[in-house]
């Protein structure tokens, strides 16, 4: 069974958390409920954000969009999460990094990418 992932963001300080197990309680930060991030799956922003996921040489290759995403201090992909049946892998990126990752090949993969300006994006293969 594929791991279920959910991400929440504090509207005050910008903290982002990944929910590992949902115990039914409310996530609170800075005295306010955190907002669940809903992943975009269709292109709606000028810059491309939807991860492009390919499999080759027994690896999963992720390019954040078909057009390279900016990776400047002001606008960049902060992290990529790859979800499979038995793993959740998060790769942190920094400004000036290339918005690409390579990980082990698995079946039934979901990939999330988080842009500091445009939020959460998702692709499935």
Binding annotation: 10, 13, 29-30, 49, 69, 75, 115, 118
In whole angstroms, how far apart are CA 26 and each of 14, 17, 31, 36? 17, 13, 11, 11
Residue 36: alpha-carbon gap to chain centroid: 13
Question: Rounded distance, CA 99 to CA 58, Å?
Answer: 20
Which helix H or strand E contains 111, and what residues bound it? strand 110-115
Burial string for 102-118 (b: 16+ CB within 10 Å, else e) reads ebeebeebbbbbbbeeb
Which residues does the annotation place in the binding site for Fe cation? 10, 13, 29-30, 49, 69, 75, 115, 118
């Amino acid at each position: 069974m594929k791991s279920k992932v959910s991400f929440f963001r504090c509207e005050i300080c910008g903290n982002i958390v990944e929910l590992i197990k949902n115990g039914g309680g409310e996530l609170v930060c800075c005295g306010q409920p955190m907002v669940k991030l809903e992943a975009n799956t269709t292109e709606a922003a000028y810059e491309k954000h939807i991860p492009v996921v390919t499999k080759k040489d027994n690896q999963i290759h992720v390019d954040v969009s078909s057009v390279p995403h900016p990776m400047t201090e002001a606008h960049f992909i902060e992290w990529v999460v790859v979800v499979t049946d038995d793993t959740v892998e998060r790769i942190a990126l920094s400004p000036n990094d290339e918005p690409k990752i390579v990980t082990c090949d698995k079946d039934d993969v979901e990939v999330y990418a988080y842009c500091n300006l445009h939020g959460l994006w998702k692709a499935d293969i």
